[in-house]
Amino acid sequence: MLHPWETLSSRIIHQDRWIHLRADSCRRHDGLVIEPFYVLEMSDFVHVLPVLEDGRLLLVRQWRHGGNTFSLELPGGMLDAGETPEQGARRELLEECGAEGSDWSLVHRFFPNPARQNNLFHAFLARGVRRISDQQLDGNEEIEIHAHTVAEVDAAIASGEFNQGNHIAAYLLARPQLVGETAKG
């Protein structure tokens, strides 16, 4: 029978606006003490599968320094304090793409890495998406906007251009809803 670990103590190793790194001392039910066990405390984040009125998906492309690569991905980002996931998804779509959607639904919510992180990934499907303004990017963002069919996103996953695991998972979870309603060309 499995048992949760008991946290004996915790200390903050590093804390800033992006990340909190915590070192825990933990004890398993059999008495084994595991220390330090590092946990990244991070804000929940949201991403949107935005379906344009013509059926294509609105995606973003940007440099991802940690992976030393450009990435084609879903628009999104971290939730602001006090924001619901849907509010954050709507805000991120407006900021990164200058767009809004008329029909929103939660695709799924999951842990990106529950072994070491405490945050959740919230994926939303937005239909009836249309551009209404210019991008409203943060000072550290440089983002290109691209529109792709389902077939083109499938190809981008196969080629490695659409390369973030959480984004691929969200896309694949939403894909049954996208097939038949989006442009396939």
Q: Burial level of 32, CB count in 10 A (0-12/13-18/19+)?
A: exposed
Q: What is the mean pLDDT of residues 47-68?
A: 96
**pTM, 2 dp:** 0.91
Look over the chain and give the mean of its residue pLDDT values, rounded to a whole number: 94
Tokens 């929103």 -> residue: 104
Nearest to 115 by CA among 31, 34, 12, 15: 34
Q: 183 pLDDT band (50/70/90 cuts)? A: very low
Q: 180 pLDDT band (50/70/90 cuts)? A: low
What is the crossing angle of helices 165-178 and 150-159, to 10°?
150
